[in-house]
Structure 1
Amino acid sequence: MARLPDGTLMQRAAAGITAACADLLGRVYGSRVVLLVGSGDNGGDALYTGARLAKRGAGVTAVLLTPDRTHPAGLAALRRAGGTVVRGPEHAEAPIRRAHLVIDGIVGIGGKGGLRPDAAPLADLAQESRAAVVAVDLPSGVDAGTGEVRGAAVRADLTVTLGTHKPGLLVDPAREYAGSVRLVDIGLALPGDPELEALQHADVAALLPVPGAESDKYRRGVVGIAAGSARYPGAAVLAVAGALRGGAGAVRYAGPAGDAVIARFPETLVSSGSPDQAGRVQAWVVGPGAGDDADAVTAVLNADVPVLVDADGLRLADRDLVRARRAPTLLTPHAGEAAALLGVSREEVEGARLTSVRKLAERYGATVLLKGSTTLIASPGDGPVRVNPTGTGWLATAGSGDVLSGLTGSLLAAGLDALDAGSVGAYLHGLAGRLAADGAPVGAHDVAEAVRDAWRDVMD
């Protein structure tokens, strides 16, 4: 901003927002647009956008929430273009109810704690109206840095974010308020490392283990699965199903569900004893459906190979033993399990996912994959947290997490580090869920079968 003429970045932002609004409207001429204008630069962006839309024939009305602190140049531009102005939120109801499009420029990235009481009714009006809602940079009232929503907030159909994605646009619950997200490059030189990363197909393809001409099943890695019980043999079967599709060369199973595993997957190397007697592996998965078998969990945690701990294993694992491990450890809780590990309510974890996954990683000295509507993967320290961009609500089905554990454990055995294995496993699992569901209910076994299609999709 210091290097460029005054208002340059704001004009770039307005140009991008205007293009997005025009795409959404289809026909700008004759449309009715309402601007919700706060006191900051977001309000200025909205005003300049309104001026551009007015020049293209839209009827534009700006609702000034703080008239004495409105961006002066943006307001002048809107008036020159023929836009009208109403002062104060008390005059907003009629224009909003008639609008085809509402542009949210109330609060920017500095907003905390939800909308102020005078602005909150405007979010409700916009939601109740038949207008499409476009948020400038992010929906007003959500926390840009954490994805938390601590009060009333605007629910957008489209968010036009400027310069870079904000963490709150990728992490629930704020992500739910953002609608579709469109990034406009306004030429910012962004310093430092990102707080959040989201892998794309090319990133995942570069990480997937691919056998070479000299590979054999042992060089590709062997993953051990210590899962299942007499009560939950299916968890073992599903974890093995995921592992067989995860890139390792072989799968060893150790536990009481060997008959069920071998009946479904005869290629599995099965033993009924303790995991430490099952044979050599390059990584272990422990916990899915394990019941109260604390000895198996302890045996796996004492192994000097990467370990993934899930489900019952999270409850049975000793935190000091986890922290003392030298080999990588990956914990994969859902929100309820994370809440138990942190000693807080499930609602607190779901409302502050980014904070929660970071706390867990630091508390256990391990990489943590927090499952849920937004899956996050964090390692101890200050590095970026990974957010998974794939997935579908249809993955909320019994056994889906067991498939994810086996798949991710296989990637660990194939040589990926814990952060990459968790990120790639979640990515493939989410994509497989989409492909398997195709808009209809699925079972966990369908997801496991679709992992190969997801793998091919990424590599293509």
Structure 2
Amino acid sequence: MEFKTENGIAVPSVTMEQMIEVDRIAVEETGPNLFQMMENAGRNLAELTIKTLGDDWRKQNIIVLAGTGGNGGGGICAARHLANRGANIKVCVTEPEKLKEVTAYQLHILKSTNAKIISIEKLQNENPDLIIDAIIGYSLTGEPRGKALELIKWTSQHLGIIISLDVPSGINSTTGEAACHFIRPDITLTLALPKTGLHPSLTGELYLADIGIPNKVYKKLKLNYQQPFNHHYYIKLRSEIS
């Protein structure tokens, strides 16, 4: 899979293993740290959500579905930015008691906003205009299970706009293989670099978000990286099967 910006700049794609190494180098050597990357991801996701909904975005019902890891933290962060701007937003977390530290801190901050945190049981009564899928992210191996699977099944029953963060939940980020149950979004906002498994039939419109990783990180991995963002913080990509 090859990815290019609307201006024709080629953007390298990475496997799950390569993205794990990108994150490791950033956290252990160069920065930014996990919280900073999560904050950048969440703010970009909030901005894309507003752009997608248009002028009446404050009147629309938005639900964020968040997992326990970094992807969920990005979704929760986006919910805060949206709530701070007056959005009608609710957040459903798969297992709040199992949140990783940085994600738990995002939920802690969210509780000081007007966003509503709802259980999976209460979710059954909701009919959102837009769903943010921040359930799993790039680290999926095998089939989704438990509460994550419940949220994926719930999403497939609704007609609202769906935006997936980084990788649609239920899709293997390296191979593009789909689980038995997966989310098919209208839009995917992938982070840092596109993933090799982001097939255009699975992602909807594809955007790439800058989360602040220095070019030095990509050079260490010998990736042919040319900064594609110009003055933007997220950009649209087109994908081509090579």
Q: Are 1:7 and 2:32 an aligned pair?
A: no
Q: Secondary structure of 2:38's match? A: helix
Seq. identity, %: 25
Q: Are 1:79 and 2:104 an aligned pair?
A: no
Of the three residues 155, 159, 168, the one matched with 1:139 is 168
Number of corresponding residues: 194
Of the three residues 196, 201, 206, the one matched with 1:167 is 196
Aligned positions of 1:65-104 closer than 5 A: 65-70=94-99, 71-87=103-119, 89-95=120-126, 97=127, 99-104=128-133
What are the superposed Cα offsets for residues 326-357 of structure 1, whole Å, 9 maximum, x if unpaired? xxxxxxxxxxxxxxxxxxxxxxxxxxxxxxxx
Q: Are 1:60 and 2:89 an aligned pair?
A: yes
Contact 1:155 1:178 in 2 (8 A): yes
Q: CA deviation at 1:13?
A: 0.8
Q: CA deviation at 1:107?
A: 0.5
Q: Are 1:389 and 2:234 an aligned pair?
A: no
CA distance in 2 between partners of 1:159 and 1:5 (Å): 23
Runs of 4+ in structure 1 deviating by more than 6 angstroms, as ranges, are none
CA distance in 2 between partners of 1:388 and 1:135 (Å): 17
CA distance in 2 between partners of 1:135 and 1:388 (Å): 17
Contact 1:28 1:57 in 2 (8 A): no
CA distance in 2 between partners of 1:6 and 1:117 (Å): 26
Q: Which of 1 and 2 has greater Rg?
A: 1
Name the aligned partner's letter for residue 176 of structure 1. S
What are the superposed Cα offsets for residues 11-62 of structure 1, whole Å, 9 maximum, x if unpaired? 1111111111111111321221111111100000000000111111112111
In structure 1, stretches of 5+ residues that fail to align are 198-386, 391-422, 424-460
Q: CA deviation at 1:5?
A: 5.3
Match in the other structure for 2:6: none
In structure 2, stretches of 5+ residues that fail to align are 1-26, 226-237
Match in the other structure for 2:5: none
Greater relative contact order (CA < 8 Å, ≥ 6 in sequence): 2
More strand by share: 2
RMSD: 2.3
Task: Give the TM-score normalised by structure 1.
Answer: 0.40
Match in the other structure for 1:203: none
Query: Cα distance 1:194–1:36, how it changes in 2: closer, same or farther (>3 A)?
Result: same
Name the aligned partner's letter for residue 91 of structure 1. K
Match in the other structure for 1:333: none
Aligned positions of 1:301-340 closer than 5 A: none
